[in-house]
Amino acid sequence: MRTMPHPAPRLHRALALACVVALAGCMVGPDYVRPSAPVPAAYKEMDGWKAAQPADAAPKGHWWRGFNDPTLDALIAQVDVSNQTLAGAEARVRQANAASAAAQAALYPFVNLSAGATRNNAANAATTRQTHASYSLGVGASWEPDLWGGIRRNIEAADTLAQASAADLANARLAAQAALAQSYLLLRVEDAQIRLLRDSVAAFELALTFTRNQYEAGIVARGDVAQAEAQLRTTQAQVYEAELARRQLEHAIAVLVGKPPSEVTIAPQPALVAVLPPIPVGVPSTLLERRPDIAAAERRVAAANAEVGVAQAAFYPTITLSANAGLQSSVIGSLLALPGRYWALGASLAQAVFDAGLRSAQKEQAIANHDAAVAAYRETVLGGFQDVEDNLAALTLLAQEAEAQEAAVVATRQSATIAMNQYRAGTTSYLAVVVLQSSALTAERNALALQARRFSASVALVKALGGGFTATQLATDAPQG
């Protein structure tokens, strides 16, 4: 009679082979290659701008300090502490990191402890009833070796998604900082508008008093008084409008720093202290590393690429290794006795042979998701270049417009002064005075509006260039598999 070999050596060999294959690092699916993107050699709107040199500091760190306003510095410091959009983005980073850790857990065996006690009463063949008891204490383990890299591809996807979440957080931080800076600078321009309008109201009140005196002396007509009063009331109404805009900006700033509007009051400044900072731009290729939204889109391409590998691994067989050991007895007092020991080792191989096209459809879905992520990445890159070009053009042309507007302010002030002197001399009508004074006020308000647009474009350019972000931060911002 032929003696059957003991199964343990074969099982040991299977276990050893599985470990060798798992450690060999076989990984199906495509390895990630960063997709190409349309990157120009230079910015079209660089005329008049200084490209960043190796020794220059591109916009990074506390970029808002370039505006030279301590109140702005203090407000932006509160964004990281209290802004609720950032709090939500930070929670999503923690969620993605936890998902990455959960994916990595699949590489290791699952071990569980068990304990049980049963007691039953049943009739035997002699129709007498007997009570039976059973007690057990055991430990079990199971492990699915990552033979084809499906688990490692899943970890790769989870890690890159965690890095994308970290880039999303950086993008949310930059957006909140930029929104606060723009709102604050616009508020300071409104302060200047209010000062200008109040000064004009004071001047028009004096003009109205003078015109009334002239009317009472019979020198001018009643219509001159009406025109002077209309000019005064119109300007007073503009003061209220400017104050409304200022208060709404103050409310927006309060929300950005995570506080109720009633708790934030920003005192008016006696003069506009903020300045336009110099912004070295650099070459277009650096934008791929300096914009957090581009980095997030690129990381999502990497995750989608890894998901293709996960779908590919589903076509290959899986091996599950298991082991169980423990003690069992019908008497609880003898549960720990040696005769009650038991153990078992096992291995199973599974291979799907028919799934009605499920795995093929899942792979096609993963490939399509990857292609969509590549398209979204390239669209984000193009949008980034547009943002930079738009704000380079805006700052260049607004500077030229501001220069022309300042000349217009000087000219209209002179015209208004001449007209008022002529009116007092009786050589012109008060209507001419009103027209020229209104033109002068409009010119000065337009000059301030241009200053506000230049501030906004300057902040927008810093944001378009990525602020202080660099994609190399993502190497340490998320866990690695």
274-296 pLDDT, tens digit per residue, is: 999 888 787 888 888 889 999 99
What distance in Å separates the CA atoms of residue 233 and residue 204, rounded to the nearest whole number? Answer: 9
* Structure tokens given for 250: 């103050």
Report the chain's C-alpha Rg in angstroms.
38
Which band of pLDDT confidence, cut at 50, 70 and 90, is reported for residue 19?
Answer: low
Work out whether the CA dihedral 202, 203, 205, 210 comes out positive or negative.
Answer: positive
CA dihedral angle for residue 437, residue 441, residue 443, residue 447, rounded to 10 degrees:
160
* DSSP string computed for 281-314: ---GGGHHHH-HHHHHHHHHHHHHHHHHHHHHHT
Over range 219-223, report the average pLDDT.
88
What distance in Å separates the CA atoms of residue 180 and residue 175, rounded to the nearest whole number? Answer: 9
425: region left, alpha or beta (phi > 0 left; psi from -120 to 50 alpha) = alpha
What are the chain's domains? Answer: 25-111+147-317+361-477 (1.20.1600.10)
Over range 188-214, report the average pLDDT.
93
Instruction: Give the model confidence (pLDDT) of 170-198 as tens digits.
Output: 999 999 999 999 999 999 999 999 999 99
pLDDT value at position 335? Answer: 60
Contact 470, 289 (CB under 8 A): yes
Residues β-bridged to residue 119: 133
pLDDT value at position 480? Answer: 42
Phi, psi dihedrals of residue 44, rounded to the nearest 5°: -65, -35
pLDDT value at position 134? Answer: 77
* 479, pLDDT greater than 50: no
* 140, pLDDT greater than 50: yes
Q: Which amino acid is at 322?
A: S
Which band of pLDDT confidence, cut at 50, 70 and 90, is reported for residue 11?
Answer: very low
* Structure tokens given for 329: 């007895």
Instruction: Give the model confidence (pLDDT) of 145-168 as tens digits.
Output: 888 888 899 899 999 999 999 999
Contact 332, 44 (CB under 8 A): no
* Structure tokens given for 82: 């209290």
Contact 481, 159 (CB under 8 A): yes
Instruction: Give the model confidence (pLDDT) of 74-86 as tens digits.
Output: 999 999 889 999 9
Phi, psi dihedrals of residue 111, rounded to the nearest 5°: -120, 135
Q: How many helices (DSSP H) and strands (DSSP E) are in the chain?
A: 11, 4
Question: Which residue's structure tokens are 């370039």?
Answer: 66
pLDDT value at position 7? Answer: 43
Instruction: Give the model confidence (pLDDT) of 310-343 as tens digits.
Output: 999 888 888 888 888 877 766 665 666 666 677 8
What distance in Å separates the CA atoms of residue 270 and residue 189, rounded to the nearest whole number? Answer: 11
* Structure tokens given for 382: 């193009």
* Structure tokens given for 23: 């450690």
In 10 A of CB 44, how many CB atoms? 12
What distance in Å separates the CA atoms of residue 348 and residue 150, rounded to the nearest whole number? Answer: 18
Interior angle at CA 243, CA 237 and CA 245, nearest 5: 110
What is the 3-state composition of the chain as percent helix, strand, coil, each rounded to the nearest 5?
65, 10, 25
pLDDT value at position 220? Answer: 85
